[in-house]
């Protein structure tokens, strides 16, 4: 009796394995039709990180250039990504930043303002020490906008 039950159970389980449905379905078959060409602007850029990493940050020019509009955009990006550590006054006393010893850098300080735009941009995008790399988080334009916002701190004082 047990043998009959096991045999029926095995065949019953195998009856549910109908592989024909997966083989014959309404989908594109291999080599059936060429995939349309993708717009090159929609493809991810994977070598940008390596290019930035291998460049000398001191020689990177700011392609955006300083403008009030760019600085305002940078302030918005700063408020979203940077304020937690660097604080609302950019003095390194953000909610998260207070837990670090030493505190994050005061962005209006002479040391920061003495760096080139390229150096600031590389630090924002590539990260350093405790600063996270934001290369995949913020766009190139937003990175330069943050640089312009940091520059506006010097202009405002």
- CATH number at 151 reads 1.10.760.10
Q: Tell me whether residue 145 is in a domain.
A: yes
Separation of CA 136 from chain center = 2
Q: What pLDDT, on the 0 to 100 scale, is given for residue 75?
A: 96
Does position 135 have pLDDT exceeding 80, yes or no? yes
Domain for residue 137, yes or no? yes
Render pLDDT for 14-62 as a digit per residue (tens, 0 to 9): 666 655 555 565 665 666 666 667 776 665 656 666 666 777 888 888 9
Residue range of the domain that includes 103:
66-156
Please report whether residue 38 resides in a domain.
no
Note whether residue 59 is domain-resident. no
Count of domains forming the chain:
1
Question: In whole angstroms, what is the distance from residue 111 CA to residue 62 CA?
Answer: 19
Q: Is residue 7 part of a domain?
A: no
CA nearest to 62, candidates 117, 4, 139:
117
Taking only the tens place, the pLDDT of each residue in 76-107 is 999 999 999 999 999 999 999 888 888 899 99
Question: What's the start-to-end Cα distance of the chain, in Å?
Answer: 93
Q: How many CB atoms lie within 10 A of CB 119?
A: 17
Q: H-helix or E-strand containing 8?
A: helix 2-15
On whether the CB atoms of residues 104 and 94 are closer than 8 A, the answer is yes
Is 116 a member of any domain?
Answer: yes
Quickly count: other Cβ atoms within 10 Å of residue 48's Cβ. Answer: 13
Angle formed by the axes of helices 68-81 and 140-156, nearest 10°: 110
| Least confidently predicted of 27-31, 64-68, 77-81, 134-138 | 27-31
Q: What is the rounded CA–CA span in Å between residue 34 and residue 88?
A: 53
Cα–Cα distance measured from residue 67 to residue 25, given in angstroms and rounded to the nearest whole number: 57
């Amino acid at each position: 009796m047990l043998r009959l039950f096991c045999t029926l159970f095995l065949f019953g389980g195998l009856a549910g394995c109908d592989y024909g449905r997966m083989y014959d379905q309404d989908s594109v078959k291999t080599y059936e039709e060429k995939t349309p060409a993708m717009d090159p602007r929609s493809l991810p850029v994977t070598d940008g990180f390596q290019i930035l990493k291998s460049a000398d940050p001191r020689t990177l020019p700011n392609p955006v250039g300083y403008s009030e509009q760019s600085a305002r955009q940078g302030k918005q990006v700063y408020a979203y990504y940077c304020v937690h550590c660097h604080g609302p006054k950019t003095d390194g006393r953000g909610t998260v930043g207070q837990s670090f010893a030493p505190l994050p850098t005061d962005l209006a300080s002479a040391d920061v303002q003495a760096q080139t735009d390229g150096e600031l941009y590389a630090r924002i995008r590539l990260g350093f020490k405790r600063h996270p790399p934001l290369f995949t988080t913020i766009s190139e334009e937003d990175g330069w906008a943050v640089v312009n916002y940091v520059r506006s701190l010097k202009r405002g004082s």
